Amino acid sequence: MVRADGPAVAAAADGPEGAPGTGPAGGPEGERRAWVRRWFDWRRGWPLTALGLLVTALLVCHAQVPNAVGNLGSLLETFLPWLGLAVPVLLGLALWRRAGVALVAALLPGAVWLNLFGALLADKGSGPGDFTVLTHNVAAANDDPQGTVRMLTGSGAEIVALEELSAAAAPEYARALAGAFPYHVVEGTVGLWSSYPIDEVEVVDIKMGWTRAFRARVTTPKGPLAVYVAHLPSVRVKFDSGFTAGRRDVSAQALGDAIEHEPLRKVLLLGDLNGTMNDRSLAPITSQLRSAQGAAGDGFGFSWPASFPMARIDQILSKGGLVPTDSRTLPADASDHLAVAADYRY
């Protein structure tokens, strides 16, 4: 009789010739199982897994984040592309913790982010168009208007919209730009300069109590355009009240209503909308018009703040068969915004 703990049992465990590591508990198969257990242990890295799933949920369901409390939905949508920065951080931490489940959870928001914004990373420009338009919030506190004028006149634009014109600066811009743009109109704190004739100017009431928007007809060599110039109310982020965008949202609705009833087919909107194309509160405008940056730009085209652009709140939008062929931001001047320009085919 062979005892259970005798040499024969030991030999069987070590294999036919006593070679260690070839039984069921060892060898490559055992190593693989140990590796899987170590990397995919749910107890390892579960906070990272939860964070990855949260970021994924915010990217997928951002439209369901309510605006009822502090306009949190609009705040999230304003900076939505920046959620992508969480992906490399989560991946790095998951690798450091050797947490396979967290690693998979970190890849999910990366895939969703690429689906939402990946197309913006490619250059979609198709070359020069029939004319170039530009919009710029020149900033009331601009201490170098002559530098701004040089930038504007050197841009090659035929149609230029300016916002945040102070009462003192507006005449200065008019004189300095007269040589390059023989036609111009200023209404309140917004203005339009053009190489083409301007007429049929009408103030657009955006419910602010003073003029920050108007509509004009610009007659290009290939036909007329309705050009809207607008500067919607500013927004703020406050700890006690959240994203204070209520006045802007009312103005966006009023501007959208005016554009909806525009009699001309081809329409341009140029201005500082204090909101991005992702922000649902600008839907009265963005549901009717398409962004030049989205259609013909290269990258996100962030325009504010100029020192470290984080959001594109300065917009060039169009409808009626106007085809954007290029979109870009211009080098910084003394404003806290970057100027944005686009080429169009009529």
Q: Is the pLDDT of residue 157 over 90?
A: yes
Residue 206 lies in a domain: yes
Are 39 and 148 members of one domain? no
Give the pLDDT of residue 11. Answer: 42
CA 88, 89, 94, 96 dihedral sign is positive
Q: Are residues 221 and 96 in the same domain?
A: no
Please report which confidence band the pLDDT of residue 30 belongs to, taking 50, 70 and 90 as the band edges: confident
75 and 146, same domain (yes or no):
no
For residue 9, is it within any domain? no
**Of 120, 136, 158, which one is at a domain's C-terminal end?**
120
The per-residue DSSP string of 226-258 comes to EEEEEEPPP-EEETTTEEE-HHHHHHHHHHHHH
pLDDT, position 42: 62
Q: Are residues 102 and 158 in the same domain?
A: no
Domain-terminating residue out of 120, 140, 175: 120
Closest CA to 320 of 249, 247, 266, 254: 266
Kind and range of the H or E run holding 216 = strand 213-220
Residues 316 and 206 both lie in one domain: yes
Q: Say whether both 59 and 206 belong to one domain.
A: no
Cα–Cα dist 180/78, whole Å: 35
Residue at 112 is within a domain: yes
Mean of per-residue pLDDT scores for the chain? 91
53 found inside a domain: yes
Mapped onto helix, strand or coil, the DSSP state of residue 341 is strand
- pLDDT at residue 28 tops 80: no
Q: What is the mean pLDDT of the segment spanning 111-128?
A: 95
Task: Give 85-94 contacts, CB < 8 A, sequence gap 24+.
Answer: 86/51, 86/55, 87/55, 87/113, 90/48, 90/51, 90/52, 90/55, 93/45, 93/48, 94/45, 94/48, 94/52
Q: Greater confidence, 242 or 234?
A: 234
Give me the domain span that covers residue 62: 21-120
Q: Is the pLDDT of residue 248 over 90?
A: yes
pLDDT of residue 36: 64
For residue 3, is it within any domain? no
> From edge to edge, which strands make up the β-sheet containing 323-329?
183-187, 190-194, 159-163, 131-137, 340-345, 323-329
pLDDT confidence of residue 100: 86
Residues 239, 39: Cα–Cα separation, whole Å: 40
Helix (H) or strand (E) holding 89: helix 86-97
Prediction pTM value:
0.87
Residue 341 lies in a domain: yes
Q: Is-contact 289 318, C-beta < 8 A?
A: yes
Q: Is residue 10 part of a domain?
A: no
Whole-angstrom Cα distance, residue 73 to residue 63?
Answer: 7
209 and 243 belong to one structural domain:
yes
217-230: per-residue pLDDT in tens?
A: 999 999 999 999 99
Using DSSP, state whether 177 is helix, strand or coil.
Answer: helix
Query: Are the CB atoms for 223 and 322 separated by under 8 Å?
Result: no
72 and 97 in a single domain? The answer is yes
pLDDT at 191 over 50: yes
**14 assigned to some structural domain:** no
Q: How many domains does the chain have?
A: 2
Q: Is the pLDDT of residue 97 over 70?
A: yes
- Are 26 and 39 in a shared domain? yes
Instruction: Answer whether residue 285 shows pLDDT above 50.
Output: yes
51 lies in the same domain as 164: no
CATH classification of the domain holding 144: 3.60.10.10
Strand partners, 111: none
Question: Which of 103, 120, 137 is the last residue in one of the domains?
Answer: 120
Same domain, 330 and 186: yes
287 pLDDT band, cuts 50/70/90, is very high
pLDDT at residue number 40: 67
* Phi, psi (deg, nearest 5) at residue 344: -130, 145
132 in the same domain as 103: no
